[in-house]
Structure 1
Amino acid sequence: MRSRVWGGTAAAVIGGLLAAGCGGGDGAGSDTSDTSAGKAVPGDYPVSVTDCVGAKTAFADAPKKIVTSNASSLELLLRLGVGDKVIGTGFPPGKGTLPGALDAEAQKVKVLGQSVIPKEKLLGSGADLYIDTFASMGSMGGAGMGDAPTAEEFKAAGIRHIHLKSTACAAQSKSPVTDLSAVEADITALGAVTGTSAHAKELVAGMKEKVDAVQKAVSGTAQGARPTYFFFDYDAGTKQPTVTCNRQIANAVITLAGARNVFADCDGDYKQVGWEDVISKNPDWIQLGVRNRGSEAANKKAFDEAEQWLKSTAATKGLKAVKEGHFLRIGSEPTTIAGVENADTVEEITKTLYPGKVN
């Protein structure tokens, strides 16, 4: 199974499926900090954050040397304005895959691993904080991925280990993810930990403004009348489709955009199904989910390939969305990886499905 991480111009393949999703409502990812993180300002310490099972990590002051597990947590730090504190990352973003000025800044960060950072390299990095986007339990990421450091080893190396709960805690969510509250909580918590709460508050406010506008625009359309929607994860392979279930952040993005995820009845984050399952759903719209290749031309080529595959394959060419040309060319990362751009994707989907209703 393919992991849901940012691995440059090509997707990274690891054993097991990354538990990447957003905990919303009463899910495991909704409680991100023990303090009033949104009120924190530089120097407003101590701050405590919790992991998926409630274990606390305390900060008496801002971390000075940060390592990120992959490009999703790296991008959040860059957006918060503390990129100068990041001394290394795993699963680095390929050149051109991050938006605007963030890309140039990201390329300056030392790559400690093209995929999972080797244990010895992480422990010897000199970091005082490791931000883990992966699952904190089990065998699919974070402390369970490969030969990862134990809690005792992190402590001995002087490294505090925290998680992005919106992604790491997805599998433990108690209910389907239908909003971006856990993503917003992660941003708020990182702001508190790094002393950038004012900036975090601005980022969250911007997300809320976009999503609120969309909700107002689609509010007049009854749930049962909303178009059905399939996220086609082209890069996960076409032999057997990998679908986004109701614990994945994509379910929230699709739902907020005024659509119905055709696999919202699947409890979990990802699942492999058969094409007969997709055919039985017969979606109104299909998102061509391809990962950023680093340039507009390369991305267009990937989208073209995904569309052509659907049009030329016996199992899919008869689907309603395929016959009507109802395709959305929106990348995988801002749809399935928790971050600020989730709100942009909500807006973009709505503009396509409800033309004229969102400015």
Structure 2
Amino acid sequence: MRSRVLRGLAAAAALLATTACSTDGGGSGSGPAPEATGAGATAFPVKIADCTGHETAFAGPAARIVTSNGSALEMLLQLGAGDRVIGTGFPPGPGTLPPAIAAQGAKVPVLGETGIAREKLLGSGADTYVDAFGAMDLMGGAGDAPTEAEFTAAGIRHVFLLSTACAATAKGPRTDLAEVEQDIRRLGAVTGTSPKAAELVAAMDARTKAVGTALGGLPADRRPGYFFFDFDAGTKQPVALCNRQVGNAVMALAGARNVFADCDADFRPVGWEDVVARNPDWIQLAVRDRGSEAENTKAYDEAERFLREFPAIKGLAAVQQGHLLRIGSEVTTIAGTRNADTVRRIAAALHPELVGSGS
């Protein structure tokens, strides 16, 4: 139980850390797009911008990469650049990564179970650090993140995931996966895997556009209220998924109405009375992967049991009617290609007459 609590705290810290980086705007307009030539091949040198617009140049492909968390690691593994990742923080738990890349991901050295200590990161030998968080105190209690001057002195290029590190101060709510797709393209550019990046993005687009076509511009009054119940963040005080988080875009694309869409942040603690007042039509039982189907089922059962027995919640129509979706936290809130799959799963549950069943 203690290990589960620690994992939950670490993951919650990772989620809350997305408030870290400031920007003048999010979405596909954040910074210049990497240059490319030919059939999607990366043309070096490549320049990419951070959250503030500051550009970093790559004369050639990144060769020794450290990632801040499982989101960046998963993208690099899917791009075929996993052999260049020499370490990660916030490692993905057992069963979290897709089967096709799980074995390779498990071999990546863990430099920090939560954030990576400043000295360890600066002395890692990396030439590139892919940062999902920004400048927050996530360095395992060993101090703040390195400064840009320290990164430069260590020969490390600092690359942000725009979909997470720049979320909190982006312009407007997240309603699509443009930033996620841009991050995949950016990592493809700096690793010289732009053709694979284009392939991954095209597949995401195909899935989300198919859902959009099926929904046919669903009006607001036909979008059921939806609450993301982060079971592992704790049950004494729920944590609302707000409009700057990737999960808000997943809900919007799936034809749902985030009941906390008026919360102008990524995540924010709320009260159960707030959840009751929003009266969601559907509740996602969001648990973090436990590493096996049996353990995941057990966790989902625990989350559902809590809602059915907790006096403040058990009377909600969503609970009474069994409108409780068993979809994991990671594929909803952690930026990556599987966000598009989650769009499809939610849409099929909420609008079966339009989207139909299927994976």
Q: TM exceeds 0.5? A: yes
Asked whether the equivalents of residues 19 and 167 of structure 2 are also in contact (C-alpha less than 8 Å), the reply is: yes
Which of 28, 31, 40 is residue 30 of structure 1 equivalent to? 28
Deviation of 1:11 after TM superposition, in Å, equals 4.9
CA deviations on 1:159-215 (whole Å, 9 max, x unpaired) are: 111110110001111201100011111111111111111100010000010000101
Corresponding residue of 1:89: 88
Matched residue SS, 1:286? strand
Query: In 1, distance between residues paired with 2:111 and 2:312?
Result: 42
Which of 161, 165, 171 is residue 164 of structure 1 equivalent to? 161
Corresponding residue of 1:190: 187
Query: In 2, distance between residues paired with 1:180 and 1:80?
Result: 18
Corresponding residue of 1:62: 61
Matched residue SS, 2:327? coil
What is the 5 A alignment of 1:200-279?
200-219=197-216, 221-279=218-276
Query: In 2, distance between residues paired with 1:145 and 1:38?
Result: 40
Matched residue SS, 2:28? coil
TM-score (norm 2): 0.91
Deviation of 1:128 after TM superposition, in Å, equals 0.5
Corresponding residue of 1:306: 303
Query: In 1, distance between residues paired with 2:241 and 2:37?
Result: 35
Which of 173, 179, 193 is residue 170 of structure 2 equivalent to? 173
Deviation of 1:10 after TM superposition, in Å, equals 4.7
Q: Does residue 352 of structure 1 match 2:354?
A: no
Query: In 2, distance between residues paired with 1:307 and 1:22?
Result: 35
Q: Does residue 121 of structure 1 match 2:120?
A: yes
Query: In 1, distance between residues paired with 2:97 and 2:21?
Result: 21
Asked whether the equivalents of residues 8 and 95 of structure 1 are also in contact (C-alpha less than 8 Å), the reply is: no
Q: Output the amino acid matched with 2:88.
A: T
Matched residue SS, 1:238? coil
Corresponding residue of 2:330: 333
Query: In 1, distance between residues paired with 2:27 and 2:255?
Result: 23
Distance 1:46 1:91, change over 3 A: same
Q: Output the amino acid matched with 1:96.
A: G
CA deviations on 1:228-253 (whole Å, 9 max, x unpaired) are: 11100111111111001111111100
Q: Does residue 281 of structure 1 match 2:282?
A: no
TM-score (norm 1): 0.91
Query: In 2, distance between residues paired with 1:80 and 1:244?
Result: 28
Deviation of 1:154 after TM superposition, in Å, equals 1.0
Asked whether the equivalents of residues 37 and 188 of structure 1 are also in contact (C-alpha less than 8 Å), the reply is: no
Q: Output the amino acid matched with 1:30.
A: S
Deviation of 1:261 after TM superposition, in Å, equals 0.4
Asked whether the equivalents of residues 289 and 330 of structure 1 are also in contact (C-alpha less than 8 Å), the reply is: yes
Corresponding residue of 1:321: 318
Deviation of 1:101 after TM superposition, in Å, equals 2.0
Q: Output the amino acid matched with 1:110.
A: P
Using the aligned pairs only, state the percent identity: 58
Which consecutive unaligned segments of at least 5 residues does structure 2 have?
none
Matched residue SS, 2:322? coil
Corresponding residue of 1:74: 73
Which consecutive unaligned segments of at least 5 residues does structure 1 have?
1-6
Q: CA RMSD in A?
A: 2.6
The alignment covers a number of residue pairs equal to 350
Q: Output the amino acid matched with 2:114.
A: S
Matched residue SS, 2:63? coil
CA deviations on 1:117-152 (whole Å, 9 max, x unpaired) are: 111111111110010011x24x4658x994221111
Q: Output the amino acid matched with 2:174.
A: V
Higher relative contact order (CA 8 A, sep 6+): 1
Further displaced range: 264-273 or 212-221: 212-221
Deviation of 1:221 after TM superposition, in Å, equals 3.3
Matched residue SS, 2:57? strand
Asked whether the equivalents of residues 68 and 90 of structure 1 are also in contact (C-alpha less than 8 Å), the reply is: yes
Query: In 2, distance between residues paired with 1:152 and 1:8?
Result: 32
What is the 5 A alignment of 1:37-48?
37=35, 39=37, 41-42=40-41, 44-48=43-47
Asked whether the equivalents of residues 170 and 247 of structure 1 are also in contact (C-alpha less than 8 Å), the reply is: yes
Asked whether the equivalents of residues 22 and 247 of structure 1 are also in contact (C-alpha less than 8 Å), the reply is: no
Asked whether the equivalents of residues 291 and 333 of structure 1 are also in contact (C-alpha less than 8 Å), the reply is: yes
Distance 1:20 1:335, change over 3 A: farther
Query: In 1, distance between residues paired with 2:257 and 2:49?
Result: 32
Distance 1:130 1:8, change over 3 A: farther
Query: In 1, distance between residues paired with 2:21 and 2:207?
Result: 18
Corresponding residue of 1:18: 17
Deviation of 1:280 after TM superposition, in Å, equals 0.8
Query: In 2, distance between residues paired with 1:249 and 1:16?
Result: 11
Query: In 1, distance between residues paired with 2:201 and 2:53?
Result: 23
Q: Output the amino acid matched with 2:234.
A: G
Query: In 1, distance between residues paired with 2:93 and 2:253?
Result: 29
